[in-house]
Structure 1
Amino acid sequence: MASEPVNVNEFQELARKILPKMLYDFFTGGAEDQHTLKQNIEAFQRIMLRPRILLDVSRIDMATTVLGFKISAPIVIAPTSMHQLAHPQGEVATARAAAACNTIMVLSFSSTCTIEEVAASCNAVRMIAPKLKNLEGLMPTEVNFGDGSNLEAYCNWTMDSSLCWKDIEWLRSITKLPILLKGVLTREDARKAVEAGIAGIVVSNHGGRQLDFSPASISVVEEVVHAVGGKVPVLLDGGVRRGTDVFKALALGARAVLGQNGVRSVIEMLKNELELTMGLSGCPTLSDITRSHVRKQTDHESFYSKL
C-alpha cells in the first residue's frame, strides 16, 4: 500500500490499522450477516458505463445545487455518529473539511460535538439529522449510565419508535426549513413523502446497519426517482467508493450522493475521479449525464436499440 492513500478502500485499510478493533468494527460493520452492507458496494459494480466519444470535454463543470445551496460537486457528507471516536476534533473537523470543499455536511443527532460547536467552526452548509419525535424540550448533554442498568431505557429514549407520517406535518408546522426524509427504499414511501410535503428524499438503507437484506441503495434509486416525478430532489447514500459510483447514481436520476468518509482528501479524491469519469464519458456538465450512460444487468437490449 502506498504511503498516501489513493482511494477510499486504502483510507479504510489505514483506519483499520490505526483504530482499535472495537471502534473500527463500529464504523464499518453492518446488521446481522452484513448482506446489505456488501450489496451496497457490489450493486455499484454490476452497473457498467456507456461512454460517448468525440464530445468537447475541455471544460468540466461539476457544480450543482441542493435545496438552493450551490456546491462544488454532487458529493455531500452523510450524517454519521460519534466522529470523536476516530478523531479528537470530531464533527468540527468534518465540518471544516466540508467548508474547504464547498459542500454540505449533514450533522447526525448522535454526534460527539454539539450543534453550536459545529455551527461556529466554519461557514459550511449545514443540515441536521434528528431522530427524536419531540424536539421542543431541552435535552441533557450528559447521561449517567451508572452500572449500565439504564442503557435500555437510554436507547428507547433516543430512538422514538412511534414516529409516523403525521409527525412530518407537525415538524413542518414548527419550522420553515426544508425537511428531507432519509431511508426511503420504495416507490410507495417516495410518493407518501411527496404527499407529506417533504422537500427532498435520501435513498438509503442506513449503511446496511439496520435491516439486513434490505436492497442496496443504488438498486432502487431509479424506482424512487420515477415515483417522485421530479417534484423533489433525490439523493443517495450507501456504497459510494469511487467517482464512477457518483456518476452512476447521477445517471440513474440522483441529484447528489452522500459519502460516509468526510475528510477533505477523500472528498477531493471523489471529485477528481468524478471529473475524470465525466470527461471520459463525454459529459462536460452534470446535466449531460443521462440514463443512456449506464447499463444495469436488468436492462434489456431493446432499451438500447431505442437510444
Structure 2
Amino acid sequence: MTQLGSGQLLTAEDYRHLARDLVAPDVWDFIEGGAEEERTLAANLRAFDRIRLRPRVLADVSAVDTSVELFGTRFATPLGVAPTAYHRLVDSDGEVATARGAGAAGALFVVGMFASRTLEDIAEVSTSELWLQLYWLRRRDVMAALIRRAEQGGYGALMLTVDVPRMGRRWRDMRNGFAVGGDVAAVNIDPAVMASSHHRDAGRSALAQHAAQQFDATVTWADLAWVRAQSRLPLVLKGILTAEDAALAVEHGADAVVVSNHGGRQLDGAVASLDVLAEVVDAIGGACPVLFDGGVRRGADALAALALGARMCLLGRPPLWGLAARGADGVEGVLRTTTEELAHAMALAGRPALGALDRSAVHMSTIAGGA
C-alpha cells in the first residue's frame, strides 16, 4: 500500500488504512473485530447507508457552531472518544496520548476501566473533560476504589457499561488465542484481578476468560443503587437498545444513557444502534441526555444521529486508528477532520447549530420504525 503523508490524511478511513500496516495482526483483529459472524458490526455501518438527509436552503450558515454542553461542560465538538481498552497496544504513550489528542480537539474522552495508563497520568495531561467507564466486577471493592480515584482526579462522570454480563464470542480473538502481552496491562486494577487476561491459550480469548472469572452476571437494575451510593458524579448507562430499558434507566435515576450495541462486539444479530436511536429518545422523553455510538465514520453519520436525538456521538475504533497512525496528533486529527465534515454537512443542510437539528433533517422512511 502507498504510504500516506500527513497531507493525505483527509478522513477517518485514511487513518484506518495507515494504522492497518502499523498494528500487529492479532491486535488489529482485537480492535476491528466483532462478535461471531459480525452481522451486527456490519449492520451498524449499513444503517447509515440507508439514511438520506433533507437539506434546507437560504439559511445563514456563514458561521456553524458544533459545540455542545453536557453536565455543565461545553465541548467544542459533539464527537467524543468512546471507552476502549489497552491503548498501549497501538502506541507506547497509550491513553495519555489519547487524552492529549482529545483535549486538543476539545472533545470528551471516556477512559476505559482497562486503561493501560493510570487515571492520574491521564488526568494530568488532559485539557478537556474526562469520564471513567466501569464494568460490573464481582470485586466491588475494586470498582469503589476506581470511583474514588476518578473523583479525586477530577473526572466528570461515571459511565457504567451494562451490556456485558459475559463477553461476546469474538471469533477473531478466539482463533488468535488473543491475550494482552508484553508490558501492556490494565494498570489501574490489582494485577491479581487481571491475571487471566495475560494467559494465552490456543482457541480461546484470554479477555473472555477473564470476563467469565471477574464480571458479575447477577447484577440487576436494583444494583444501580450501590453505584449511586459510591459517588455524586453523574451516572451514564452504556448499552441501551430498547424503549423498555430506556424507561427503566429513567426510573432508576440514570443521568444519561448511551444507545450502543458495543460496536457489534456482544450479541451478534442485535439491532444496529442507529435503527433504535429514535425509539430510545422517545422513551427517554427528555428526562436525560441520550448519547450514541455504533458505526459513526464520517461527519454526515454524526449529523444523522444528532438529528435523531443524540446529544453526542462517541467514536470507538476511529480514535484508535488515529492513535496507531500518528499518536496524539492522530487522535486530534481524526476528531478534527470528522468534526469539520460535520460542520460542512450542517452548512449544506442549512442547520448552522446543533440545536437546529431535528428529525426533519433526515428522511425518516429509511429509519426502522420511522414514519
TM range (shorter): over 0.9
Does the CA contact (< 8 Å) of 1:46 and 1:297 recur in 2? no
The ranges of structure 1 where at least 4 consecutive aligned residues each deviate by more than 4 angstroms after the TM superposition are 142-149
Does the CA contact (< 8 Å) of 1:57 and 1:284 recur in 2? yes
Does the CA contact (< 8 Å) of 1:46 and 1:296 recur in 2? no
- 2 CA distance for matches of 1:90 and 1:172? 30
- 2 CA distance for matches of 1:255 and 1:293? 15
In angstroms, what is the RMSD of aligned CA positions?
2.1
1:113 aligns with 2:135: no
Correspondence for 2:70 among 41, 60, 66: 66
Describe the shift of the 1:54–1:128 C-alpha distance in structure 2 as closer, same or farther (beyond 3 A): same
Who is 2:322 aligned against?
none
**Relative to total residues, which structure has the larger helix share, 1 or 2?**
2
Correspondence for 1:285 among 348, 353, 359: 353
Task: Please state whether the residue corresponding to 2:106 is helix, strand or coil.
Answer: coil
- Please give the per-residue CA displacement for 1:226-265, whole angstroms capped at 9, x wherever unaligned: 0000010000001000000110001101101001122100
Describe the shift of the 1:68–1:157 C-alpha distance in structure 2 as closer, same or farther (beyond 3 A): farther
- 2 CA distance for matches of 1:148 and 1:208? 24
- 1 CA distance for matches of 2:219 and 2:81? 25
What letter is aligned with 1:104? L
Does the CA contact (< 8 Å) of 1:39 and 1:216 recur in 2? yes
Q: How does 1:1-307 map to 2 (within 5 A)?
A: 2-3=4-5, 4-133=8-137, 134=140, 135-136=143-144, 139-141=189-191, 143-145=194-196, 154-260=210-316, 261-262=318-319, 263-298=331-366
- 1 CA distance for matches of 2:263 and 2:23? 20
- 2 CA distance for matches of 1:220 and 1:154? 31
What letter is aligned with 1:92? V
Describe the shift of the 1:244–1:147 C-alpha distance in structure 2 as closer, same or farther (beyond 3 A): closer
What letter is aligned with 1:84? R
- 1 CA distance for matches of 2:267 and 2:209? 22
For structure 1, the residue ranges without an aligned partner over 5 or more in a row are none
Task: Please state whether the residue corresponding to 1:241 is helix, strand or coil.
Answer: coil
What letter is aligned with 1:136? A
Describe the shift of the 1:257–1:299 C-alpha distance in structure 2 as closer, same or farther (beyond 3 A): closer
Does the CA contact (< 8 Å) of 1:225 and 1:253 recur in 2? yes
How many residue pairs get aligned? The number is 301
Sequence identity (%): 39
- 2 CA distance for matches of 1:137 and 1:286? 37
Task: Please state whether the residue corresponding to 1:278 is helix, strand or coil.
Answer: helix
Describe the shift of the 1:153–1:59 C-alpha distance in structure 2 as closer, same or farther (beyond 3 A): closer
Describe the shift of the 1:207–1:273 C-alpha distance in structure 2 as closer, same or farther (beyond 3 A): same
- 1 CA distance for matches of 2:227 and 2:280? 23
**TM-score normalised to the size of structure 2?**
0.77
Deviation of 1:19 after TM superposition, in Å, equals: 1.1
